[in-house]
Amino acid sequence: MMLLVHGIPVILGFVMSFYEFPSLRYTDWFRPETFVGLDHFAKVFQKDTIYGAQFWNSLKVTILYTVGSVIGTYGLGLVTALTLDKQFRGKLVARTVILIPYVTPVVVTLLTWRMMFRSDTGVINALLRQAGLIEGSLFWLLGPNSLYAIIIANVWRNFPYAAIMLYAGLQSIPEQLYEAAEIDGAGRWGKLRYVTLPQLKPVSAVILLLLILWTFINFPVPYILLGGSPSESGNVLMLLIYSFGFKQSAYGIGSALSAMLFLFSMTIAYVYYKRVVASSYDGGAI
């Protein structure tokens, strides 16, 4: 069943990347005269072609989107976890409330963000005007700010996952380590640097790996916020593949790009696991 659901589409996608599609009729697709070999892959990498120019811009946007989202998600998750690790009134309620972005259906969350980012009636611009940070209105879903919009929404969507995972990691740190650090004269910052962060390294490695992969191949956040025809600053690779396949009728190019994205993601996952995740555990095994 797993082979049917996942394996066959992947294999078919790789095969499609080697063929040209002269029409929408399936019988015209996989003929010997439509076999183009690696031409689609070559076109993607050539900056002077229409496909290559779109790919290189989209790759840059995707890297910025991934780096910004991962740093923001992990940072906000760590601050939240450290806050929850302290004793205060309403702690149980706070632990429940932070899960709202993660358990709310993704479409509802993103449509809400889309309304908040509206240039005319959105609450984001209203808050910025009240704070005196801007005059007039900013276009968040068009132009250069669209990259910031999808990063903010993605961070908001995923930070509860990082927070809960890190909070669970904090609960497993022996109190004796903090007592020993105090004896050595470590203050609050010293405990965080020499005890908390090193002890969180294994769980942090897993969180960062998942966040990188989830963001790099993320489709719902940019598509629901920006639509299928985003500006250049928000045109991540997943939207570009969608555009190649469903708008530009460049099925072979889209398949080639999908195949490269698949191999790239698997390579990142393997290298990161071997170099970071596995080495973070005693004996190299989780």
pLDDT value, residue 281: 57
The pLDDT tens digits for 161-176 are 999 999 999 998 998 9
The pLDDT tens digits for 60-86 are 999 999 999 999 999 999 999 999 998
DSSP 283: G
Buried-exposed string 154-191: b where 16+ CB fall within 10 A, e elsewhere = bbbbbbbbbbbbbbebbeebeeeeeeebeeeebeeeeb
Residue from 33, 41, 42 nearest 14 by CA: 41
The pLDDT tens digits for 25-64 are 777 777 888 898 899 899 888 888 888 899 999 999 999 9
pTM: 0.87
pLDDT value, residue 282: 53
pLDDT grade, residue 267 (50/70/90)? Answer: confident
Mean pLDDT of 106-133: 91
The pLDDT tens digits for 189-228 are 899 999 999 999 889 988 998 899 899 889 999 999 998 8
Dihedral angle, C-alpha 36, 42, 46, 51, nearest 10 °: 50
Report the C-alpha gap between 219 and 213 in whole angstroms: 12
Average pLDDT, the chain: 88
Residue from 250, 95, 231 nearest 166 by CA: 95
